[in-house]
């Protein structure tokens, strides 16, 4: 299984996976205390600065991973502009983008197996059976791996539609996208059964 770890070396690659995941958890909770646009934008700027040690290529890679968030940014800002609460919209958007970028940074600088090991360690504290822990860790791995894959396939479906029609695709892509996702899920399930039937 492929991971999303970046080949560009940064100081964050050397940090322990457990420490990064714990920091992500703590910062995500604290971020909800941000209440003004200045605080939220400062937080976003700080997260952006964390990408700088990796150079321009690393920063661009992080920016590309934020593309799925853009529709939500537009919708949130438009709604808060319509309701006259622009400041609140800026706080929500800045916080959302910063937290997603921070999660991407952890993913880009941490080997997937290291993340799964830490998840398994955390689940062990709950005294769950080993089989349950393996299944939960595998679920985390599949979500991490296939979310960007499905985003890419959805983008490809949209591009294919626009190449053949001047109308916007809208809801018409829901069915083909669902079929693509189900096909991928079936293939992955068959591969898992073939390689590890005890999961």
What sign has the CA pseudo-torsion 185, 187, 193, 199?
negative
Q: In this predicted structure, what is the pLDDT of residue 196?
A: 64
104 is written with which tokens?
Answer: 């991407």
Q: What is the pTM of this model?
A: 0.71
Q: Say how many domains are in the chain.
A: 2
**Same structural domain for residues 99 and 5?**
yes
What rounded mean pLDDT belongs to the chain? 82
**Same structural domain for residues 100 and 137?**
no
**Same structural domain for residues 106 and 151?**
no
Higher pLDDT among residues 36 and 158, named by residue: 36
**Same structural domain for residues 136 and 192?**
yes
**Same structural domain for residues 137 and 173?**
yes
Please report whether residue 173 resides in a domain: yes
If pLDDT is split at 50, 70 and 90, which confidence band does 197 have?
low
Q: In this predicted structure, what is the pLDDT of residue 45?
A: 94
Please report whether residue 6 resides in a domain: yes
Q: In this predicted structure, what is the pLDDT of residue 2?
A: 42
Res. 1: pLDDT tops 50:
no
* % of the chain exceeding 90 in pLDDT: 23
Q: In this predicted structure, what is the pLDDT of residue 27?
A: 92
**Same structural domain for residues 104 and 140?**
no
Q: Which domain range does residue 84 map to?
A: 1-110
Note the pLDDT tens digit of each residue in 55-103: 888 888 888 888 878 888 888 999 999 998 899 999 999 999 999 999 8
Please report whether residue 142 resides in a domain: yes
| Cα gap 109→7, rounded to integer Å | 9
Alpha-helical segments (H) within the chain: 17-31, 37-51, 55-64, 70-82, 86-108, 112-124, 130-164, 174-195
Please report whether residue 118 resides in a domain: no
Please report whether residue 125 resides in a domain: no
Within 13 Å, how many C-alpha atoms sit on residue 80's CB side? 15
SS (H, E, C) 78-126: HHHHHCCCHHHHHHHHHHHHHHHHHHHHHHHCCCHHHHHHHHHHHHHCC
**Least confident range of 8-22, 140-154, 177-191:** 140-154
Provide mean pLDDT across the span 166-178: 77
**Same structural domain for residues 136 and 67?**
no
**Same structural domain for residues 51 and 134?**
no
């Amino acid at each position: 299984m492929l991971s999303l770890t970046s080949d560009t070396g940064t100081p964050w690659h050397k940090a322990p996976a457990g420490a990064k995941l714990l920091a992500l958890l703590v910062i995500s909770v604290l971020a909800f205390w941000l209440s003004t646009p200045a605080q939220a934008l400062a937080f976003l700027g700080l997260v952006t600065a964390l990408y700088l040690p990796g150079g321009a290529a690393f920063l661009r890679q992080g920016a590309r991973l934020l593309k799925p968030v853009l529709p939500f940014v537009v919708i949130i800002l438009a709604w808060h502009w319509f309701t006259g609460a622009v400041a609140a919209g800026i706080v929500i958007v800045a916080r959302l983008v910063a937290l997603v970028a921070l999660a991407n940074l952890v993913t880009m600088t941490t080997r997937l197996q290291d993340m799964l090991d830490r998840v398994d360690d955390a689940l062990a504290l709950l005294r769950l059976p080993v089989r349950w822990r393996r299944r939960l860790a595998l679920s985390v791995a599949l979500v991490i791996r296939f979310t960007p894959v499905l985003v890419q396939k959805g983008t490809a479906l949209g591009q294919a539609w626009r190449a053949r029609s001047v109308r916007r695709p809208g809801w018409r892509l829901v069915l083909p996208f669902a079929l693509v996702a189900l096909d991928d899920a079936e293939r992955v399930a068959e591969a898992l059964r073939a390689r590890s039937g005890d999961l």
